[in-house]
C-alpha cells in the first residue's frame, strides 16, 4: 500500500458520496416531469439551482460533473495512472462540446450560445475557420491527441471522425488497463468490458472500421460486421452471445441494447470496486465512471419525462437496475 493510493482511496470515497444511489435514482424516476426531476436534485443538494429549460438543466449537470471530475483529477497528480484515468474521463465529459466544435469547423457554421470548458474555453470567443487552425489550437492537449488518433485511421468524412473521437476514450483507457496486473486489472476490465464491445460493434456497423479493444466479442465477428452490407449487419450482430435473445429487428436497436447493458455492467462493477478494492488506482476509475453514469442517467430520465416515455422504457436507459 502506498501513501498516494491510500490518499486517492479516501478522495474517491468522498467523490462517491457525491454520486446518486439506487434510491436517489428511484426517486427521480417517480417524478412526473423533467422540472420535478431537477427540483428533487436541488432538494438533495446535488445541484444548486433549478433550470428554466431542459437545455439549461443539461448544462447545469454537465457543469457540475465537470467540476467534480476536475477536483478528482487535481488530487490525482501524484499518481500517473490515476491522473491519466481522470484526464480521459474529463475528456469524455467534454466530448460533446469538442464534437460540436469539430462539426462547426467542417460545416463552416459558427456556434452561438454554447459554453466550453477547460482547454476548450478558448473557443468561447469563436470557432476556428479551418481544420488547420483547429489542429493548431488543440495541439498539445488531450483533444489534439484524440484528433491525431482519429487521423491515424484515415477517416473519410466528418461522421467517421466523430466516431473515432468517441473511440479514443475506450482505446486509451484499455491501454492503461493493460499496464495493470492481477486483481487491479480484472477490476478495471470489469468496468469497461461492455463499452469495449459496444464501441467495436458500433464502429464496425456504422463506419465499416475494425478495432481490437474487445471483451466478450471476437475479431472474426467484428471483421464480418465491418465487411457486410447494412442489410446483413443485423444478423451478424445477433451472433454476439449476450444479444442472441433480443427481439429487436434493426442494428440500431440492437446496438442501443448493447450500450444499455454496458452501462449497467459499468455501474454494478464500479460499485463492486468500492466494496472490494482497497488502495488502488482502480477506485479512481470507479468514482470517475459513476460520475459519468450519473450524467447519462439524469439526462435520460429528464428527457424521457419530457417526451412522456413510460417508466419501463426509461428504466432500460439508466445504469441502475431499478426492478
pLDDT tens track for 274-293 = 988 667 889 999 999 999 99
Q: Are residues 202 and 255 in the same domain?
A: yes
Q: Are residues 216 and 306 in the same domain?
A: no
The confidence band for 113, taking pLDDT boundaries of 50, 70 and 90, is low
- Domain residues for the domain of 239 are 181-280
Place of cell 476536475: 70
Between 77 and 261, name the one with better pLDDT: 261
Beta-carbon count within 10 A of 320 CB: 21
Angle between helices 131-138 and 95-107 (to 10 degrees): 150
Q: Are residues 306 and 264 in the same domain?
A: no
- Answer whether residue 23 is part of any domain: yes
- Of 47-61, 183-197, 271-285, which range is least confident? 271-285
Q: Are residues 196 and 254 in the same domain?
A: yes
Question: In whole angstroms, what is the distance from residue 162 CA to residue 242 CA?
Answer: 27
Q: Are residues 247 and 217 in the same domain?
A: yes
pTM of the entire predicted model = 0.94
Q: Are residues 188 and 215 in the same domain?
A: yes
Question: In whole angstroms, what is the distance from residue 106 CA to residue 138 CA?
Answer: 15
Q: Are 257 and 248 in contact (CB under 8 A)?
A: yes
pLDDT at 322 over 90: no
Q: What is the mean pLDDT of residues 211-215?
A: 92
Q: Are residues 276 and 303 in the same domain?
A: no
Q: Are residues 199 and 258 in the same domain?
A: yes
- Answer whether residue 143 is part of any domain: no
The DSSP 8-state label assigned to residue 114 in this structure reads -
Long-range contacts of 301-308 (CB under 8 A, 24+ apart): 301/25, 301/28, 301/29, 301/34, 301/37, 302/34, 302/37, 302/38, 302/54, 302/57, 302/58, 303/34, 303/54, 305/31, 305/32, 305/33, 305/34, 305/36, 305/37, 306/33, 306/34, 306/54
Residue 77: per-residue pLDDT: 85
- Answer whether residue 91 is part of any domain: no
The confidence band for 35, taking pLDDT boundaries of 50, 70 and 90, is very high
Structural domains counted in the chain:
2
Question: In whole angstroms, what is the distance from residue 67 CA to residue 15 CA?
Answer: 11
Q: Are residues 249 and 310 in the same domain?
A: no
- Answer whether residue 171 is part of any domain: no
- Answer whether residue 11 is part of any domain: yes
- Answer whether residue 201 is part of any domain: yes
Beta-carbon count within 10 A of 119 CB: 18
Q: Are residues 275 and 208 in the same domain?
A: yes
Q: Are residues 270 and 303 in the same domain?
A: no
Query: Which runs of consecutive H residues, i.e. helices, occur in 94-229?
Result: 95-107, 131-138, 142-152, 158-178, 182-207, 219-227
- 3-state SS assignment for residue 68: helix
Q: What is the mean pLDDT of residues 181-193?
A: 94
Place of cell 474529463: 90
- Answer whether residue 155 is part of any domain: no
- Answer whether residue 110 is part of any domain: no
Q: Are residues 195 and 264 in the same domain?
A: yes
Query: Which runs of consecutive H residues, i.e. helices, occur in 17-126?
Result: 22-30, 34-43, 54-74, 80-93, 95-107
Amino acid at each position: 500500500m502506498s501513501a498516494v493510493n491510500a490518499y486517492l482511496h479516501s478522495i474517491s470515497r468522498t467523490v462517491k458520496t457525491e454520486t446518486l444511489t439506487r434510491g436517489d435514482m428511484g426517486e427521480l424516476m417517480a417524478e412526473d416531469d423533467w422540472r420535478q426531476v431537477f427540483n428533487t436534485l436541488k432538494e438533495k443538494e446535488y445541484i444548486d439551482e433549478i433550470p428554466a429549460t431542459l437545455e439549461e438543466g443539461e448544462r447545469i449537470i454537465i457543469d457540475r460533473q465537470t467540476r467534480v471530475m476536475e477536483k478528482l483529477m487535481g488530487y490525482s497528480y501524484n499518481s500517473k495512472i490515476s491522473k491519466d484515468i481522470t484526464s480521459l474521463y474529463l475528456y469524455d465529459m467534454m466530448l460533446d462540446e469538442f464534437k460540436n466544435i469539430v462539426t462547426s469547423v467542417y460545416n463552416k457554421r459558427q456556434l452561438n450560445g454554447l459554453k466550453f470548458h477547460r482547454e476548450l474555453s478558448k473557443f468561447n470567443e469563436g470557432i476556428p475557420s479551418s481544420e488547420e487552425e483547429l489542429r493548431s489550437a488543440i495541439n498539445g492537449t488531450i483533444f489534439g491527441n484524440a484528433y491525431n488518433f482519429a487521423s491515424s485511421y484515415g477517416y473519410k468524412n466528418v461522421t467517421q471522425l466523430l466516431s473515432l473521437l468517441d473511440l479514443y476514450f475506450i482505446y486509451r483507457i484499455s491501454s492503461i488497463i493493460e499496464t495493470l496486473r492481477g486483481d487491479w486489472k480484472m477490476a478495471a476490465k470489469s468496468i469497461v468490458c461492455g463499452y469495449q464491445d459496444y464501441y467495436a460493434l458500433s464502429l464496425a456497423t456504422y463506419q465499416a472500421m475494425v478495432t481490437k479493444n474487445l471483451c466478450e466479442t471476437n475479431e472474426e465477428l467484428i471483421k464480418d460486421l465491418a465487411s457486410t452490407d447494412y442489410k446483413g449487419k443485423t444478423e451478424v450482430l445477433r451472433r454476439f452471445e449476450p444479444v442472441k435473445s433480443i427481439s429487436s429487428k434493426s442494428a440500431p436497436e440492437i446496438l442501443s441494447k448493447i450500450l444499455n447493458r454496458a452501462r449497467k455492467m459499468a455501474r454494478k462493477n464500479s460499485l463492486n470496486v468500492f466494496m472490494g478494492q482497497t488502495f488502488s488506482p482502480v477506485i479512481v476509475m470507479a468514482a470517475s465512471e459513476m460520475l459519468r453514469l450519473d450524467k447519462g442517467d439524469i439526462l435520460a430520465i429528464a428527457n424521457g419525462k419530457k417526451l412522456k416515455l413510460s417508466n419501463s422504457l426509461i428504466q432500460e436507459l439508466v445504469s441502475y437496475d431499478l426492478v
